[in-house]
Every structure is written in structure tokens, then in C-alpha cells.
Amino acid sequence: MIGYGLVWLILGVYGVHRSWLVIQFRRHRRERAVPPPLPGSPPKVLVQLPIYNERYVAGRLIDAVADLDYPRDRLEIQALDDSDDDTPAIIGPKIETLRRRGVPIHYSRRPSRHGYKAGALAWGLAQSDAPLVAIFDADFVPRRDFLRRTVGFFADPRLGMVQTRWEHLNRDYSLLTRLQSILLDGHFVVEQTARQGAGCFFNFNGTAGIWRRRAIDEAGGWRHDTLTEDLDLSYRAQAAGWSFLYLPDVTTPSEVPADIRGFKTQQHRWTKGAVQTARKLLGRLWRAPVPLRCKIEATFHLTNNICYLLLIIMVLLLGPVCLARATGAWSGGVWFDLPLFLTATVSFFVYFFESQRELGRADWRALTRLPLAMSLGIGMAVNNSWAVLEGLCSWGGEFVRTPKYGLESKSDRRRHKHYARFRRSLIPWVEAALFAYCLVTTIGCALAGLWVVVPFLVLFTFGFGYVAAGAWLDQRLSRHSLLLPEPEV
């Protein structure tokens, strides 16, 4: 019971922090930066496109960037292709055609994939003298007016980076993409707005943003000792005195993972990298001459992934705790659980609801999906807890790309699309075991009349069951796809 109480207490503290973010968001959500007009001679902009094995989406990105509304003589585009599949054969001819049409795009391939994405970006920077650098991942489709709506802000000499809000091309493709979109909306609508409004540090999200070259250089450049080079550079640049700007009204469409496999890959990389960044920078940040509010907020921001480990501990303790209550070995559970449950969970519902309401999506369907989104986050606890442990024990690591398939509408099918062979893992088996454990505990609590904890247990049961089943289905689909003929792209 002591361990159970401590876990709830720590989760409650992070829940209070989430409530603070919601308060700051509501206080600052109407604040908008007015874009100044572009100068008569606009600054030169380098657009970097880091690409690695993106056969289904790289061409879409290149077409969108080639159509950017910006003076051609002030624009330079780099396709930084580290691919070792057939992506070069797909995008090479396209780039050559665009060059003949006068598009200032260059195709670059490095001798090795050293440093992964961070290494590719640094490689490209060394070949250009542009003072501004825009970055787009392969699964993004920047709007034509992206540069015209962002470059003018750099008239402020201390502005180091501008980040735009992500939208989701395949939001309505499936239940999984809808739930992922809700989770990402919480970050981009509430968190980024709240941190900017409160004068705290916030991060470049790796894509759909534009940097001042000097800010990158003065912060120490791109590093690959963490898997989140964007988060790492963001904190180093802001600690060095550069200001950041978030534009919630400027959106850049992207594609979220269409399968559990891709979602897990993405979440593992983000979680592990955030923990590595916390190890690397939190000590320096607390010793740096930055406001106390920035230090506190950065601590919560960079350490919140430990909640996944706490959730696993919570799951393992639920059975013994419920047994103790059912047998009368411990009483007063309702008065102990209810305040902590409300503190740790209600704040998350409000957090996601605020993001959906701000986007005009707060209808009854969105309300029914909020518990499912939270349950999906719980179901990722095993995958992300492993990432936390890896982040605590190691630096860097392989930058495993998130597979994207160019799926936008419900009519699109992934059946004939595949990448590399599916990697076997024990994590789905652990998730399946936790699903069974939570299901038995839920049934036992219902039979014992412990109805207060049943809704909480249902969230755990659905989350682990959904993620485990999704991983199994993805593995079967991947095996089947590998038996099909190589797709034509």
C-alpha cells in the first residue's frame, strides 16, 4: 500500500502540472503574433529534406517544396537522401526534372549514415551559406505560403526558431490515426501555446519549422548523442539566449503512423531521446542563468516519461491492492483513491478536451474518443517504459525511422505496401500478459463490489489489449506483404 500510494502521489504531481498547462493555455490562447511583411530583398532560405527509405512519401514532399511561394533566386532546396532501398531510383529522376524546370533543388547523398538525421542536417548546412533553414520530414506536405508566413518574423534579431502546428492528412483513416491525432493535438494546441505564453522553454518538433542558422551554430550545432536532436538543440539554443516563436495558426499537414508498429517505433524514439536529453541538459540548465520558471517547467517536460514506468508499477500493484480490499485487510480505499484518481486522470481529460474544443472538434464523437486516447497512451506503457530504461542506460542509438505509406483517405490500402522485414519483439507478449492480468483484476473487482476502481481498470485493460492485438495484426500483415510482388511506386 505504501508503494501504491507513492505511485499515485507522483502521478498526481504530474497531473497538477498538466492542469497548470491548461490554465496557461486558456490564459494565452488568444495571443497571436502578427507576421511582418517580407522585406524588398528577402533573406536566402535553405530548405532541408532529410530522407531515409521513404519510397511512398518522399515524392509528395519534393513536389510540395518545389511549389513553395518564394523568390527562386533566394531559395535553395536540399534533398538529403541516406536511403539504402529504392528511394533514390524513385526521387532521383523527379529531382532532375524539377532542376530542368528551374527549381533550385540539389540531391545529396552522404558516404555513410553517420549521425543519422542530425548528421544529415549538419552535412547539408556545411554546403550552404543561407542564414535561414527550414526543415521538413518526408511525411510532411508544407503549404505553398509556408515561407511567406514565417520568414518575416526573423526581422527580430534575437529570434532563433519558428515552429508551426502539425495537422494530420490521415486523421480519419482509422481509429488508431484518430486517437494519435488527439494525442498530438494536446501537445501542439495546449502545451506549445502554454509554454510560450508563460515565457518558458518549448521545443522545435524536428520538422515544419524554420531556424536562424546563427542560432544553430551558437548553440553547438546538430548533435547525435541523443535520439531527439531537435529537443536537444532547442534547449541548448534557448539557454544560450535565443527566443523561439510558436505559430498555432500556421499549419503544416503530415501523416501519422497508420499501424501500431509505426506508432511504437515513433514513440520509442521520442521517449528514449527525451530521457537522454534530460540526462544531458537538466543539470546544466539548473546551473544556467535562466528564470526559475524555465527550470521547473523544463524538469517536468523532460522527465514526464517516467510516468510510463509508474503506470507499469501501478498495474502490478493493482491486483494485491484489490485483493486486500476484497478480503477486508484494508479499508477506506475509496477515500484514498478518489482524490488521487481525480488529480492524476481528470487533468488529462480536460487537457485533451481543451485541444479539441480549440480546433472545433468538441462534439460528442470527440468526447467518446477522449477515454480511448488516454487508454491508448496507457497501452504504450510497456513500449515506452523500455525506452525510458534504454535512455537512462545509454547514449544515442540507432535512429529507427517511422514507416509511412502515403495513406490519406479510407479508400487507401496498405496491403501491397511494405518496407523492411518486421522485427520480432517480446513486448507484445508482455502487453498481452498485462491485458489478461488487468481483465482478471477487473472481473474480480466487479464481483467483489469494488466499483470505484473498475472504470480505471477498464482503461488499462482496453489499452493493453488494443496495442497487443494491433502488434499481432501488423506482424501478420507484414509477413503477408513480403510474399507479394515488389510494389510499383
Catalytic residue IDs: 82, 230
- The alpha helices in 81-149, defined as continuous H runs, are 87-100, 116-125
Residue 349: name the closest of 365, 363, 367, 337 by CA. Answer: 367
3-state secondary structure 228-282: CHHHHHHHHHHHCCCEEEEEEEEEEEECCCCCHHHHHHHHHHHHHHHHHHHHHHH
Enter the C-alpha cell of residue 175: 481509429
Task: Put residue 176 in one of left, alpha, beta given phi > 0 → left and psi -120 to 50 → alpha.
Answer: alpha
453 close to 315: Cβ distance less than 8 angstroms: no
191 close to 200: Cβ distance less than 8 angstroms: no
- Taking the CA atoms of residue 175, residue 467, residue 482 and residue 113 in that order, the dihedral angle to the nearest 10 degrees is 100
345 close to 421: Cβ distance less than 8 angstroms: no
Q: Whole-angstrom Cα distance, residue 179 to residue 370?
A: 8
Q: Find the helix or strand (DSSP H, E) in which 298 lies.
A: helix 292-303
Q: Whole-angstrom Cα distance, residue 239 to residue 235?
A: 6
**Dihedral pair phi/psi, residue 165, rounded to 5°:** -85, 140
Enter the C-alpha cell of residue 41: 530583398
